[in-house]
Homo-oligomer: A and B are copies of this chain.
Amino acid sequence: MENRQVGRIELLKKAHQGRKGLASMSEEDYIEAIYEVEKVYGYARVTDISEILGVRPPTVLGMVKRLEEKGMVIHERHRGVRLTEEGRRVAERIARSHELIRSFLIGIGVDEERANIEAELIEHFLSQETLEKLMRVYEECVKRPSGRASPSG
């Protein structure tokens, strides 16, 4: 009896090992913000990013420098930030999973504002594999629910 539950504790340990090696949540947030601003204005200013993420300009600048070192963005003094090809690839991956999660949440009846918030919060953590499976459920159960599962309420 004790053995069974100790097994559960082993699982907890494994679950926490799994977290390691993920890219920093913050970096992805910044890349995503730059991507969105760039779509609209062609490039992102420090203050744009600052306003979107709710952090101060010096904080943005620090992260921008880091992202530049990692080859994700190009930054010219007083001239704004642009994604590199690599940065764009990352941004697009993030945007896709964000959008999928968002659609899913809205599909199951979560209101739009909350869906935006919660998609943002969980998008960093799901694997490709899980996203694909979520996509399937979304397609098969939420988008065309075959007479079941009224999402509202």
Contact = CB atoms under 8 A, between A and B. Distances in A.
Main secondary structure of the interface of A (DSSP, over half): helix
Contact of A118 (B37, B118, B125, B149): B125
Contact of A149 (B37, B108, B121, B137): B137
Contacts of A149: 136-137, 140-141
Contact of A146 (B14, B116, B147): B147
Interface residues of A, number: 58
Contact of A126 (B20, B52, B122): B122
Interface string A1-38: 01001101101111111111000000001001100110
Interface of A: 2, 5-6, 8-9, 11-20, 29, 32-33, 36-37, 39-40, 48, 51-54, 105, 108-110, 113-114, 116-122, 125-127, 129-130, 133-134, 136-137, 140-142, 145-149, 151
